[in-house]
Structure 1
């Protein structure tokens, strides 16, 4: 169904109060906070929040407003993927912003010490006119397993030198490690080459890298769950489709001539999304669910100079070609391929 029709047939939802609701903080990013809302028995809100979480904007962040983000998602993102591969989202008007956000901030305050240090002290925008209902990809039953990862750049940067030995992600990790060696040394093993995601079906090294990165910790890493994740990594069609969408909307890279800002904006949005996996308790009778989320429109007018500056630094510093001094250790699929051709 076309996005415009979807909007017209969905009447606007409104939230007037969270009185008597249980509110649980779920997570956050730089610009948004996510909460689980459990209404009291027989509340009319039950039908609204059943299977959905509430996302709200943070105060003092410079991002697009929620109606603009929703419109972009419906008109630009939805046509690229089957609806079954997208975490569904919908606007909800906050009819009493101050009272609703006050309750959310109270719930946030109870977990303040557990938040990321750089996020502590931030809160919900008190004047927020809209929130967003986002599909809850957490476990549905006790035996389900929910996982999340960022696919990142699934193809080399179009601006990278032809002799590159690193993809854009691995080049950036080399730069970060060069600038902050003590910090990034401890995190190196947690950031594999994203190109490995596309080679799990025929490369044992790629599969091992991604299993180590995505697989759940004990005691959740049961044989059946690991088998399900392995099978998905080796056979999914979503990540190749995401890769093709990234490539289709960025032919030149941020330094290319005749750059199309809106196309680059979409490509960078697709390179920063999250992938949610839900492995059902009765796998393989029920398949693994895989859905993309965090597909908010980038502000390319403000981001372009940053994207261009970073690309120049990666090129001029030799990070794409592994010529930086001192040489940083990465495990890029491109470098492994080049080495195998020499051996």
Structure 2
């Protein structure tokens, strides 16, 4: 069987900066010539910006071998390895430096540039709405859809809400803005009203009721929940502190759900999971995960009774209040 040739980004392609994270810069690209790339993936590309990170070849191998078998193709933000044209990285880095001087690049990203030693990028499914007038894109982080296995049995906070409250306490002490968000347990609730409550915190779709109906008992969310239950080596049961191994378990708890909603309510909604590059315990991450869990347990953040903790969105608190109403 002939091995398929590697895709190449067309010479002269124009990249338009979209966004960036800790390890990637996201571009939308346009070309004056007809693109030979797959139509669904021909508008968006990731380019690595951290030389020390895992190579894109390894990312693709892990994605294909470990992540892809867990979901249907139409449930994933697909990714394909692509060869980058010579000189493209240098041009992109010049644009990033210019964006810094113009104030067009987030300050926290200043000084980070594309790796000159990474010859590849990733084509990913285009979930933007540039070519679909009237459509909207909602994004959310499902996070921990089940409680941490090492949380106290009497917890009044799920893992995500406990961590958010601990961080908010630190933010208050520094005079910084606190974060509010939904409880992941509500996201997979069997009660529609609880799912509707989640939509208060999701940007991108003004029709909360429609979005709640999309999310309620959503098959992709239910599948993610099922996988989180199956892959539960997390918390104090997670990898050893000195581990350098990959963690699918933590990866499944830090992905992003993209929901592209057409204007016509009769048209199908496109829902995909992204940010599923395997997390690794290397670089002190495994130690960090364990230390964080110990902080939540020993600091009483799971209990929800600290003087700095007020009424929150956590489904566990609402459940407890319902079972034990105040006299």
Match of 1:54 in 2: 45
Cα distance change on mapping 1:280 and 1:59 into 2, 3 Å: same
Match of 2:83 among 88, 93, 97: 93
Greater Cα offset, 172-181 or 29-38? 172-181
Give the C-alpha shift of residue 38 in structure 1.
0.4
Counterpart-to-counterpart distance in 1, 2:211 and 2:173: 32
Cα distance change on mapping 1:207 and 1:182 into 2, 3 Å: farther
Cα distance change on mapping 1:50 and 1:168 into 2, 3 Å: closer
Give deviations 1:73-116, integer Å, cap 9, x for gaps: 111111111111001100012252xx111222233345432333
Match of 1:196 among 177, 181, 186: 186
Match of 1:267 among 246, 249, 257: 249
Counterpart-to-counterpart distance in 2, 1:59 and 1:334: 39
- TM-score, scaled to structure 1: 0.84
Match of 2:53 in 1: 63
Match of 1:36 in 2: 28
2:288 maps to 1:306: yes
How many residues align? The count is 320
Cα RMSD (Å) = 2.7
Counterpart-to-counterpart distance in 2, 1:172 and 1:149: 17
2:316 maps to 1:330: no
Counterpart-to-counterpart distance in 2, 1:89 and 1:15: 14
Give the C-alpha shift of residue 128 in structure 1.
1.7
Give the C-alpha shift of residue 258 in structure 1.
8.6
Counterpart-to-counterpart distance in 1, 2:257 and 2:174: 26
Cα distance change on mapping 1:262 and 1:209 into 2, 3 Å: farther
Give the C-alpha shift of residue 306 in structure 1.
0.7
Cα distance change on mapping 1:319 and 1:121 into 2, 3 Å: same
Structure ranking higher in helix proportion:
1
Q: Which blocks of at least 5 consecutive residues in structure 2 are unaligned?
A: none
2:89 maps to 1:107: no
Give the C-alpha shift of residue 262 in structure 1.
9.1
Match of 2:198 in 1: 210
Match of 1:169 in 2: 160
Q: Which blocks of at least 5 consecutive residues in structure 1 are unaligned?
A: none
**Contact 2:67 2:276 survives alignment (8 Å):** yes
Q: Residue 107 of structure 2 aligns to a residue in which SS?
A: coil
**Contact 2:196 2:212 survives alignment (8 Å):** no
Match of 1:123 among 113, 120, 123: 113
2:8 maps to 1:14: yes
Cα distance change on mapping 1:80 and 1:289 into 2, 3 Å: same
Q: Residue 320 of structure 1 aligns to a residue in which SS?
A: coil
Give the C-alpha shift of residue 254 in structure 1.
3.2
2:76 maps to 1:76: no
Cα distance change on mapping 1:208 and 1:47 into 2, 3 Å: closer
Give the C-alpha shift of residue 235 in structure 1.
3.6
**Contact 1:254 1:264 survives alignment (8 Å):** no
**Contact 1:25 1:107 survives alignment (8 Å):** no
2:231 maps to 1:236: no
Counterpart-to-counterpart distance in 2, 1:86 and 1:257: 25
Give the C-alpha shift of residue 337 in structure 1.
0.4
Counterpart-to-counterpart distance in 2, 1:16 and 1:234: 42
Give the C-alpha shift of residue 10 in structure 1.
3.9
Cα distance change on mapping 1:244 and 1:255 into 2, 3 Å: same
Give the C-alpha shift of residue 257 in structure 1.
8.4
Match of 1:287 in 2: 268
